Amino acid sequence: MFQIVRLRDVVRIPPDKIGKPLREVATEILRARYESTLSYDYGYIIRVFDVKVDPVGKLVHGDGGTYHKAEFSMLTFYPKVGEIIEGEVVEITDFGAFVKIGPADALLHISQILDDYLSIDMKQGMIIGSNTQRVLKVGSKVRVKITAVSLGRGASLGKIGVTCRQPFLGALEWIEEDLKKIKEAKEAKK
C-alpha cells in the first residue's frame, strides 16, 4: 500500500552549506538519508518532499554545523499480507518469476502460478501451462495477492511472496479470458 507519512527529524547543516538556501540544503540531506531505503516501520521509502525547516538552529560545541528541526513528508510503499496488487513480470527463473510491485520485486513461486503442470522455457523467458496453454513471460502484467512480507530490521531489500492461484488473479489476459467465459455461460443460460 502506498501512503504519505509526515515525520520530524533534526538536520545537521554542514559548515560548507551555511549561507545556501536552508530548505534546499535540508531537503537534499533528508533525501540522501531516507530515499531508496527500507524501514521496518514505513516500508520502502520512495520520495521525501514538502520539507519545512526551523530557521533557528542550534550549535554544538566543537562542531561547525548547525542543527535544525525539520518536518517533512515521505511517499512510502508498505506491502500488506492479503493485499491485491498489479505488477509486471521482470524476470523468469527456474523456480518461478519475479514481479515488480511498486518499488520492490516480489517472488511468484512456480507453485503459486497456476493449478496446472508448468514448463519453464528459460531461453524464451516463459512459463507455460501444459493443459491451459497459458503463458507467463517477462513483460506480462499480472494481478497478484501478497502472501508473505519480511521487512526485518537491517534487511537490505526485504522479501515479498505473492500468489495468483485464486480466482481473478494472474496475467491480466487470463482474467479477461475467465470473465469472457463467465459472460458467455450466463448468456447461454438465458
Instruction: Determine contact, residues 166/82, Cβ cutoff 8 Å.
Output: no
Give the model confidence (pLDDT) of 115-146 as tens digits.
889 999 888 889 999 999 999 999 999 999 99
DSSP assigned state of 16? G
Nearest to 171 by CA among 103, 99, 109: 99
Domain boundaries in the chain?
2-77, 84-189
| pTM, two decimal places | 0.79
Whether the pLDDT of residue 1 is over 50: the answer is yes
Report the b/e string of 151-162 with b at 16+ CB within 10 A.
beeeeeebebbb
Instruction: Determine contact, residues 42/74, Cβ cutoff 8 Å.
Output: yes
| Rounded mean pLDDT, 33-37 | 92
Nearest to 58 by CA among 22, 9, 10: 10
Instruction: Determine contact, residues 30/92, Cβ cutoff 8 Å.
Output: no
Give the model confidence (pLDDT) of 85-109 as tens digits.
999 999 999 999 999 998 889 999 9
Q: Considering just the CA atoms, what is the radius of gyration of the chain in Å?
A: 23
CATH class of 84-189: mainly beta
Instruction: Name the fold adopted by 2-77.
Output: Dna Ligase; domain 1 (3.30.1490)
DSSP assigned state of 33? H
Question: 80 vs 151, which has greater pLDDT?
Answer: 80
